[in-house]
Amino acid sequence: MNDTTSSSPVLVRWLKLGFGLGVLLAWIYVIGPATLQIDSVRIMANTVEEQGIESGALYWSDVTAVGTAEEMIRATIKYPPKGP
């Protein structure tokens, strides 16, 4: 009897691992590529590719394009536009 009760938690752990891997694979191969159908994401992906920005470096401030954008955002927050 102990064999059936002790194998049940092991089975649950394997099922959880399989489910987690399934979700990960679905995210990589189904959901991720499907987001390229969104115009803004496609434009960003094309710009990143054209500019030669490494996708892992998107949030680094030493990438010229990202650093320039960060400066402009900080300036806009510090000195908000005033208009009619």
The pLDDT assigned to 64 comes to: 75
**On the CB side of 14, how many CA atoms lie within 13 Å of its CA?**
5
Q: pTM for this structure?
A: 0.49
In order along the chain (84 residues), what is the average pLDDT of each group of 10 residues?
Answer: 66 96 96 90 86 67 72 89 79
The pLDDT assigned to 63 comes to: 67
Q: How far apart are CA 61 and CA 72, in angstroms?
A: 13
At residue 62, the 3 state secondary structure works out as coil
Count the residues in the chain: 84
